[in-house]
A = this chain, B = another copy of it.
Amino acid sequence: MLKGIASTQGDSYPLNTTTFLKRAARLFPHQEIVYRTADGGWARTDYGAYGKRVSRLANALGELGIGAGTMVGVLDWNNLRHFELYFGVPAVGATFLQLNLRLAPDDVEYVADHSQAKWIFVDESLLPVAEALAPKIYAQGWVVMSDRPASEIETSLPNVHFYEDLLAQASDEYDYPLIEETTAAYAGYTTGTTGRPKGIYYSHRSIYLHTLSIMAALKASYDEVVMPVTPMFHVLSWGFPQMALAAGAKLVLPGRFSAEDIGQVADALAAEHVTIANGAPSLFAPMLEHFRAQDEAPDLSSTRLISGSTEPPLSLMRGFRDATGADVIHAYGASETTPLVTTNWKLKPDMAGLSEAEQWDLKRSQGLYVPGIEVKVVDPEGNELPWDGKSMGEVLLRGPWITESYFKLDDSADRFLDGWWRSGDVGMFYENGYLKLTDRLKDVIKSGGEWISSIDMENAILDNPKVLEAAVIGVPDEKFQERPVAYVVTRKGEELTQEQVNEGLLGRFAKWQLPDQVIFTDELPRTSVGKLDKKLLRKDWEK
């Protein structure tokens, strides 16, 4: 690496998330944090009180012997105490481990053990999970979080402490130390469908940078209201809690909620004037239904719904715009990318000449990559492909908040190429710079030397109003290497034949690309985060 004349600026001052914490507590003490309580109601505090509780927490962690080098697991929903741990644990030099409640139990066990989490903080509502986990893992101490007094809580957990008691006994003044910026502030594990979860350990540096980058990319400042709906145990809710605090923005935490609570969360979004929320189409779709069912849908014209996980359907994007004025914004990332690396926040000024249909089409793409990182699309030999809107290849990324290794995982060299992380996503750049993902590398169908996008084909099948769900997989073929097979779930009371399905694809696919087989089924298998589980489908096909 080139090295030139040395600088005089603060290069020795470490990038620490603590710098944001201290600033928010001092500059924005009256900025509100609205949060959901265990009984489903809503309560309010502010960054001033929050800062004092985080200081108490930091002191309490010290009392427990938690400091630099300690891994601290957390089992909680999008609650206030979870948010306190978000900043309190890294502030003492320890590492905050997110325990993803949607992983299979033995994967959670694997994560808690592989990371050697010494202490685990658990919300009272999750005690059954914790108690089942306790005998099997490394953890040596437990802290239970609840609004109720310790005397009312029964648990079989060993070496157990109570969060509110610890905080009550601690001072609300804490002298925050500086921490080496490469120290892991957070640890998370992937939710991939292949193999064991893989450890991503996020340095203070990477979080500090990602926070500034998404503040800039989403124009988040102290006049915004941020609602992290994506679970705080899933890629740190994309860094939205940290972004809100760094910006000094009002924060709304929806707590634990299930499908039947979505109306309540949607109402809070409207009532608290949320301007930036995150989630996925599977969450935003019922929210839209909720608003549509009202006599008068709320005016959400200042609201931006940042939507990840999968390409949002046009019906969802237009639906929100028409019913409420809210803007559904597609964004892309992965655990390995901290995660937000592209957003489709607003069309570039030179896109104004496109037709409305073209603009919507572009708005559905993954969008533009954020400042500070690098992205390229490469062919199987690793050569960069042109930005021409047709050259499909694997998406590679590198930058200060992109993974360069997995924690204690030796056989991961195939995930990297010359310092770039291989996303496993197949996509292309349009000439105008917008990134469009078309498939997962393992799902794309390699047939006769050409690639067929399984996702494109699924979307085309879904255009038939009789179809409820569709999945396309590649199955081994002696002559063509792979051939497409489609799984289709029809809507209640509807029937379809293979010929009818294939006929609907003919406009968009060549005849040789059509599925060899269309299998009608009652439902499709999905992963813990709601994505189609094609690994299971392929197993099913082999039977």
Chain A residues close to B by CB (< 8 Å): 1-15, 19-20, 22-23, 26-31, 67-71, 92-95, 177-185, 187, 199-203, 205-206, 208-209, 211-213, 215-217, 219-223, 246-248, 250, 338, 345-346, 348-350, 368-369, 371-374, 387, 398-407, 419, 433
Report if A371-B216 is in contact (Cβ < 8 Å); known contacts: A13-B399, A184-B5, A350-B30.
no
B contact residues around A350 at 8 Å (CB): 30-31
Report if A183-B5 is in contact (Cβ < 8 Å); known contacts: A212-B371, A368-B27, A371-B215.
yes
Q: In the bound complex, do residue B222 and residue A2 qualify as a contact, i.e. CB atoms below 8 Å apart? A: no
CA distance A4 to B115 in the complex (A): 13
CB-CB nearest in chain B for A91: B2
B contact residues around A215 at 8 Å (CB): 216, 371
B contact residues around A14 at 8 Å (CB): 1
B contact residues around A30 at 8 Å (CB): 350
Report if A209-B212 is in contact (Cβ < 8 Å); known contacts: A3-B180, A8-B200, A180-B2.
yes
Q: In the bound complex, do residue B179 and residue A3 qualify as a contact, i.e. CB atoms below 8 Å apart? A: yes
Interface on chain A toward B: helix, strand, loop, or mixed SS?
Answer: loop
CB-CB nearest in chain B for A372: B19
Q: In the bound complex, do residue A4 and residue B95 qualify as a contact, i.e. CB atoms below 8 Å apart? A: yes
Q: In the bound complex, do residue B348 and residue A28 qualify as a contact, i.e. CB atoms below 8 Å apart? A: yes
Q: Which of A8, A11, A12, A368 has the most CB of B within 10 A?
A: A8
B contact residues around A5 at 8 Å (CB): 69, 71, 95, 183-184, 187, 201
Given known contacts A5-B71, A11-B182, A217-B221, what 17 new A-B pairs fall within 8 Å (CB)? A1-B14, A2-B92, A6-B183, A7-B201, A7-B206, A8-B200, A8-B202, A11-B203, A11-B206, A11-B400, A13-B400, A15-B209, A27-B368, A30-B350, A215-B371, A219-B219, A246-B372
B contact residues around A94 at 8 Å (CB): 4
B contact residues around A11 at 8 Å (CB): 181-182, 203, 205-206, 400, 404
Q: Which of A10, A405, A419 has the most CB of B within 10 A?
A: A10
B contact residues around A223 at 8 Å (CB): 346, 349
How many whole Å from A275's CB to the nearest CB in chain B?
12
Q: In the bound complex, do residue B8 and residue A212 qualify as a contact, i.e. CB atoms below 8 Å apart? A: no
Q: In the bound complex, do residue A13 and residue B222 qualify as a contact, i.e. CB atoms below 8 Å apart? A: no
Q: Which of A14, A201, A212 has the most CB of B within 10 A?
A: A212
Contact of A349 among B19, B250, B398 (CB under 8 A): B250
B contact residues around A13 at 8 Å (CB): 398-400, 402, 404, 419
Q: In the bound complex, do residue A2 and residue B177 qualify as a contact, i.e. CB atoms below 8 Å apart? A: yes
B contact residues around A182 at 8 Å (CB): 6-7, 11
B contact residues around A419 at 8 Å (CB): 13
Q: In the bound complex, do residue B26 and residue A433 qualify as a contact, i.e. CB atoms below 8 Å apart? A: yes
B contact residues around A387 at 8 Å (CB): 26
B contact residues around A368 at 8 Å (CB): 27
Q: Which of A5, A94, A95, A346 has the most CB of B within 10 A?
A: A5
Report if A400-B9 is in contact (Cβ < 8 Å); known contacts: A26-B433, A350-B30.
yes
Report if A4-B180 is in contact (Cβ < 8 Å); known contacts: A201-B9, A212-B371, A372-B212.
yes
Q: In the bound complex, do residue B93 and residue A4 qualify as a contact, i.e. CB atoms below 8 Å apart? A: yes
CB-CB nearest in chain B for A11: B182
Contact of A179 among B4, B178, B185, B247 (CB under 8 A): B4
How many whole Å from A448's CB to the nearest CB in chain B?
33
Q: In the bound complex, do residue B202 and residue A404 qualify as a contact, i.e. CB atoms below 8 Å apart? A: no
Report if A433-B8 is in contact (Cβ < 8 Å); known contacts: A2-B180, A179-B3, A180-B2.
no
